[in-house]
Structure 1
Amino acid sequence: MKPYKFEDLPDIIGELLTRIDSIEKLLQENKLNAVAANDELLTISEAAILLKLSVATIYTKVCKNEIPANKQGKRLYFYRAELINWIKLGRIKTITEIQQETELKFNSRKPFK
């Protein structure tokens, strides 16, 4: 690391501020791209590819209200983020997680009087 002099401080601070500004811009661009990706609207074919299900299976799940969907006219649309959240909600808990939940419920109950 180069030794700096007191006279160099204004230049160094200016360089740091420039770098911080560029980092903030990159972070904001990444955040906007992430939001746009989550709000991406999918057709039924695209949803089938994402979920690795057949189109017929998706139609069945929509009819049974098992999957989040949007209908405009005769067409179905899906938000990528909603489908991913739907998948996450179907997660099967491990035995350890079930035991921990059970212990928490029993420990938080009031004793009988």
Structure 2
Amino acid sequence: MKELTMQIQHNIFEELVENIKITVQEELEKIKESLSYSKDEELFYTLEQTAKILGIGKQALYGMNSRNEIPYCKRGKKCFYLKVDILNYIQEGRIKSKSEIEKEAQQALLSVKPKNRSHAG
């Protein structure tokens, strides 16, 4: 009887270990999949998704495409936008703060070399 109890415990333990292995493998696969889709340079958005991100209508985005204001890819009649290009487009419209402008002006003034003026007589 004692041997049977030990065998049952051993089987339960083995089954538990196997279930843990399977669960860990499944979770690792989920993590792997989520990481493979998180690369900015590989993530595309449709025209509709991009318009929503930018807070504009589809027609406005079509206009931006025709004026080459935003990079896009076209396959057939569909337009696609890289996430990194959308973020860069948004970043290009960034307005600098007063302190940033003042700091840049100071750096520009400090980098100007005085001209040598020789007076020939």
Is 1:97 aligned with 2:100? yes
2:81 aligned residue: 78
Superposed displacement of residue 94, structure 1: 1.2
3-state DSSP of counterpart to 1:34: coil
1:31 deviation in Å? 5.1
CA distance in 1, matches of 2:53, 2:78: 18
Pair 33,41 (structure 1): closer, same or farther in 2 beyond 3 Å: closer
* Alpha-carbon RMSD: 2.1
How many residues are treated as equivalent by the alignment?
86
Match of 2:42, as an amino acid? D
Structure whose CA Rg is larger: 2
TM-score by length of 2: 0.62
Which digits, 9 at most, give the CA deviation of each residue in 1:22-51, with x for residues without a partner?
xxx8xx84754431x552211111111111
Q: Which runs of 5+ in 2 are unaligned?
A: 1-27, 117-121
**Structure 1 unaligned residues grouped into runs of 5+:** 1-24
2:69 aligned with 1:66: yes
Question: Measured at CA, do residues 106 and 31 of structure 1 come closer, stay the same or move farther in structure 2, by a change above 3 Å?
Answer: farther
Distance 1:71 1:33 in 2: 21
Instruction: Give the structure-1-normalised TM-score.
Output: 0.66
User: Which consecutive segments of 4 or more residues in structure 1 shift more than 6 A?
Assistant: none
